[in-house]
Chain A
Amino acid sequence: MSKQNPDKDLSARAGASGIQKVLRHRLFFPLLCLALVLLANVAKTPNFFAVSINNGVLYGYIVDVVNRASELVILAIGMTLATAASGGQDISVGAVMAVSAAVCCQILSGGEVSVTSFQNPLVLAVSASLAASALCGAFNGFLVARLRIQPMVATLILFTAGRGVAQLITAGQITYIRVSAYKTAGGYIPGVPIPVPIFFAIGTAVIVALLLRFTALRLFVEAAGVNSSAARLVGLGSARVVFVTYVICGFLAGLAGFVASSRIYSADANNIGLYLEMDAILAVALGGNILGGGRFSLAGSVIGAFTIQSLSTTLYAMNISADQLPVYKAAAVIAIITLQSDVFRGFIRNPRIKNITGSIVFSKKETQT
């Protein structure tokens, strides 16, 4: 290798066209997918982006998409961390949402099936439900990090048992909390036109982003995900890192469960967060994150979550029934995943060279000639 090479490479990179730069950005393909789905929405529903104010609150398709996506955004953020650190997914988040909702409603109702006033303080109920969810996360984390069980197998336990646990907590009933204060988290604060779930999503994203920005968490998570053996030898304690990400993932699932339960002012153990774990994993993948762990992009996962929610909205707008929805969703997902595959990306970036795997090949060539 000659010494001038790095300089040459740098100049080559500086000289690269602006289009290439945009194409290489890691969020380019996730954003492209979101744009395509939104475009399809506009084609189907011309007033898709129209926003009006009815009764003092924002109203419109796009507001609905952003609002409905809130729980998914929260889940996807937790899932991103767990995926990056462990190279596997937590498939129990949907069930943990149900547990969280059950704990919260049961404490508020004081054991009654339906109440019209809080039997216990709201703060206590919410804290308890979040603590229970974090505990679920800790259980998963223990299995994955300490006992080294494959994440999908480890979290399969709560995936199956979680809703049962929620049923036990509510004694098999759907507990209703018919108190307007409880509906706030899933509805509106008087005088504020933006739905409250959006604030929860934004708050989660901001707090986690700040955590990554002002601590070394990102480096620890990525290092553990890329090479846990090497990470251990530099003193990282990969197991502890993985454990923490599962606790965070569980905690955020609990938060999402609280929001979801507030929307319907009840704890419906069978339906809260049903199949949402799959959407969360999909959001992570659509965000351009590698499901095998390592480097991750929080923004990518959030974009992925909005893509999925827009897709659902499009399909509903096309009058597809809820039962058939998964089929069309799957077809769209296949298209999106193909679009994001390394082979396809390489083809887009450099059509002359076949079978290129992302930018890895480029950088190798640049440094090793």
Chain B
Amino acid sequence: MQDNIVLRMQGIYKSFPGVQALRNVDFTLRKGEIHALMGENGAGKSTLIKVLTGVYIMDAGEIHIQSGSSGPAGSSGPAGSSGPAGSSGPGRDGLAEVLVPVVNHSPQEAQANGISTVYQEISLCPNLTVAENLFIGREPRKFGLIDWKTINKKADMLLKRLKIPSVSTQQLDDCSIAVQQMIAIARAVDMKCKALILDEPTSSLDDDEVTKLFQLMRQLKEQNVGIIFVTHFLEQVYEVCDRITVLRNGELAGEYEVKDLPRVQLVAKMMGKEFDDLAEIKTSAKSSPDFESETPFIEAAGLGCTGNIKPFDLRVYKGEVVGFTGLLGSGRSELARALYSADKPDSGTLKVRGTEVRFSSPLDAMKKGMAYLPEDRKRDGIIAELSVRENIIIALQAKRGVWKPISRKESENFADKYIALLQIKTAGRETPVKSLSGGNQQKVIIGRWLLTNPEYLILDEPTRGIDIGTKTEIQKLVLKLAHDGVGVAFISSEIEEMLRTCTRMAVLRDRQKVGELSGGDLKQEIIMRTIAGGEKQNV
């Protein structure tokens, strides 16, 4: 079976200052297989890819690549060969197929060694033609000049062979995103790659385009190209992949054949929960209070934002904690952002206290009593150079408007109050917020929103990267707020944390709200089953 291996990574270690990003990771890619690389954000997927393609230099480990003259593309046409993965017997492709150790120092070197990558953002030139993009940097020449005739002919042949619906002379940005993606793949394939890495290729494609991309991937598979498919869409993995490698916290969680790993197991592996453990965890199932008689504080009907979140319905009552759960990238943050109008919804309606509203900006949402703690604290949360005091008062000040400033004295009182209440550890209220630790920065942002007296508080990953003590404090605070009649939306990657706080959970998968759980259904196992979805295929 040695001969079927295109690429083998063994014992890979990579660390960044303060983080061990990869610890003893193995990865094997076989000829003609589509191999999914799965893991939550921060699991080490992209680090592994970057080590493989020479963007990062690994600390320890070995990479072996099959060396052999037989290029996967070009040699065999797609027409006849329709064998499943791995059917090409040992030695079929030639004599000298051995694995040789390589160290890639740059993406160019990796490419020369037969490893090509197609990134999520297409890295082609939109203002050049399809043919130019395919052959840029390696143009066929005639008398020292670029031989355009040959380029266009070769390009058309390549497009035809891979069944890509485009012509060589078309300008690239006239093609759809999916076709552009395919052209990027065609370029990689034509450069005789043995291993093709597709990094989140489907995230900006619609369903039809995804289908077309999958057709192309299957074709390449038949031509014995090994494909590494990085994605977080579970459905797609089960549709197109042969094998799955799961990473978790920089370590290898396991390598499985797709048919041996039911979805629930996959989710469990990604989250680091052994399935057997789950039954033992006792959850204090809180019964959702009876809200039927009340008007919901928030009522969304068919609210959606194209490209971010498919239309969803949601009701939230005052005094309840509703969790949004799902894997990272499942659309749980996008749902929150659509409610808050951080991304403006383009379909559906939103009612606040029974009256329909149309927010044109977050300020409108704030004026209706909403507050939003964003997922990315650094990028969307803290205003780094400003002081703790200014960071705390800024939302209230924005609500009041520029002409009604909060007086210095008043703002100092506010800052002191929330520094004390949330036990923010800072040298003083005038300290720049950037010099605080992550947990304390998060408390500053929570203080900022509490000061506006919100009726509906959205907390997107409020506990990420925060020490355990602060985590517990934040959870307690959430329960206290709910008790005081504030509606809370709670988003967290840690299911236990959500079970402790939420009375109801909306479950999301592939940017769609797929279900709602409450009462007795709030058990880890059921939640994970719902997150995984598609039970029927797992039997």
Which of B398, B399, B425, B448 counts the most chain A CB atoms within 10 A? B398
Check A324 for interface membership: any CB of B closer than 8 A. Answer: no
Q: Are A6 and B425 in contact (CB under 8 A)?
A: yes
Contact flags B389-418 to A (C-beta < 8 A → 1, else 0): 010011101111111111000000000000
* A15 contacts chain B at the CB level, 8 A cutoff: no
- The answer on a CB contact under 8 Å between B394 and A236 is yes
Number of interface residues of A (CB under 8 A): 33
User: Known interface pairs A235-B363, A368-B437. Does A363 touch B427 (Cβ–Cβ under 8 Å)?
Assistant: yes
Which residues of chain B are near A367, meaning CB under 8 Å? 425-427, 431, 435-437
A220 interface residue per 8 A CB criterion: yes
The answer to whether A235 touches B382, judged by C-beta atoms less than 8 angstroms apart, is no
Which residues of A, 222-237, contact B by the 8 Å Cβ criterion? Answer: 222-223, 226-227, 229-237
**What secondary structure prevails in chain A residues at the interface with B?**
helix
CA distance A217 to B397 in the complex (A): 10
Q: Are B435 and A233 in contact (CB under 8 A)?
A: no
List which A283-331 residues lie within 8 A (CB) of chain B: 294-295
Q: B444 CB to closest chain A CB, in angstroms?
A: 12
Asked whether A219 lies within 8 Å of B397 as measured between CB atoms, the reply is yes
Chain B residues whose CB sits within 8 angstroms of the CB of A231 once the complex forms? 383, 394
Are A6 and B427 interface neighbours, CB within 8 A? yes
Inter-chain contacts of A214 with B (CB < 8 A) = 405
**Chain A CB within 8 A of B361 CB:** yes
**How does the 8 Å CB contact mask read for B415-440 relative to A, with 1 for contact and 0 for none?**
00000000001111001101111000
Interface string of A202-226 (1 = CB under 8 A from B): 0000000000001111011011001
A219-B390, A230-B383, A236-B394 are contacts. A6–B428 as well, Cβ < 8 Å?
Answer: yes
Residue B521 interfacial (CB < 8 Å): no
How many of chain B's residues have a CB under 8 angstroms from any CB in A? 42
Query: Nearest residue in B to A225 (C-beta to C-beta)?
Result: B385
Q: Is the CB of A233 within 8 A of B380?
A: yes
Q: List the A side residues contacting B282 at CB < 8 Å.
A: none
Q: Do the beta carbons of B374 and A363 come within 8 Å of each other?
A: no
A10 contacts the other chain (CB 8 A): yes
CA distance A220 to B401 in the complex (A): 10
Q: Are B384 and A1 in contact, with the CB atoms below 8 A?
A: no
With contacts A1-B425, A233-B374 taken as known, whether A216 is within 8 angstroms of B382 at the C-beta atoms is: no
Bound form: Cα–Cα A72–B404 in Å: 31
**Pair A235/B398 contact, Cβ less than 8 Å:** yes
A364 CA to B427 CA in the complex, in Å? 10
Q: Bound complex: CA of A1 vs CA of B374, how far in Å?
A: 25
Contact of B384 among A226, A236, A366 (CB under 8 A): A226
The reply on B372 being an interface residue by CB < 8 A is yes
For the complex, what is the distance from the CA of A363 to the CA of B399, rounded to whole Å?
Answer: 31
B254 at the interface (CB under 8 A from A): no
Chain B contacts for A237, CB-based, 8 A? 361, 363, 398
Q: Is B366 an interface residue when CB atoms closer than 8 A count as contact?
A: yes
- Give the residue among B340, B342, B380 with the most A Cβ atoms within 10 A: B380
- Known A-B contacts A233-B342, A233-B372, A237-B363; the reply to A220 vs B384 at CB < 8 A is no
The reply to whether B386 and A364 contact each other, CB–CB distance below 8 Å, is: no
State the CA gap A6–B431 with chains docked (Å): 11
| Inter-subunit contact A226/B385 (CB<8 Å) | yes
Q: Which of B390, B399, B404, B426 contacts A235 (CB 8 A)?
A: B399
Is there a chain A Cβ closer than 8 Å to B107's Cβ?
no
* Candidate in A5, A9, A227 with the most chain B CB atoms within 10 angstroms: A227
Within 8 A of B (CB), among A341-369: 360, 363-364, 366-368
Specify which chain B residues have a CB less than 8 angstroms from the CB of A234 in the assembled complex: 362, 366, 394-395, 398, 448
| Residue B381, interface by CB 8 Å | yes
| B379 close to chain A: CB less than 8 A | yes
By a CB distance below 8 angstroms, the chain A residues around B435 are 360, 363-364, 366-368
Q: Are B383 and A226 in contact (CB under 8 A)?
A: yes
Tell me if A235 and B361 are in contact (CB < 8 A): yes
Q: Is the CB of A1 within 8 A of B382?
A: no
B366, B382, B395, B406: the one within 8 Å of A227 (CB): B382
Q: Which of A3, A9, A217, A295 contacts B427 (CB 8 A)?
A: A9
Q: A208 to B168: give the CA distance in the assembly, Å.
A: 60
Bound Cα distance from A237 to B383, whole angstroms: 15
Complexed CA–CA distance, A232 and B366 (Å): 11
**Which residues of chain A have C-beta atoms less than 8 A from B374's C-beta?**
230, 233
Which of A217, A294, A366 is the one whose CB lies under 8 Å from B385? Answer: A294
Interface centre among B361, B374, B382, B383, by most A CB within 10 Å?
B383
B362 neighbours in A (Cβ, 8 Å): 232-235
Q: Are A10 and B361 interface neighbours, CB within 8 A?
A: no
CB distance from B284 to the nearest CB of A (A): 32
Interface residues of B in 345-369 (CB under 8 A from A): 361-363, 366-367
CB <8 Å contact, B379 and A216:
no
Q: Is the CB of A216 within 8 A of B383?
A: no
Q: Are A222 and B380 in contact (CB under 8 A)?
A: no
**Also in contact, A216 and B427, with CB within 8 A (given A231-B383, A237-B363, A360-B435):** no
- Told that A230-B379, A363-B427 touch, could you supply 5 new A-B pairs with CB distance under 8 A? A216-B403, A222-B390, A227-B383, A230-B382, A237-B363
What are 14 A-B pairs with beta-carbon distances under 8 A? A6-B427, A215-B405, A216-B397, A220-B398, A222-B383, A222-B390, A223-B383, A230-B379, A230-B383, A235-B367, A295-B385, A363-B431, A363-B435, A367-B437
Closest 10 CB pairs of A and B: A235-B363, A235-B398, A216-B405, A234-B395, A363-B435, A235-B366, A9-B427, A227-B383, A226-B385, A236-B398
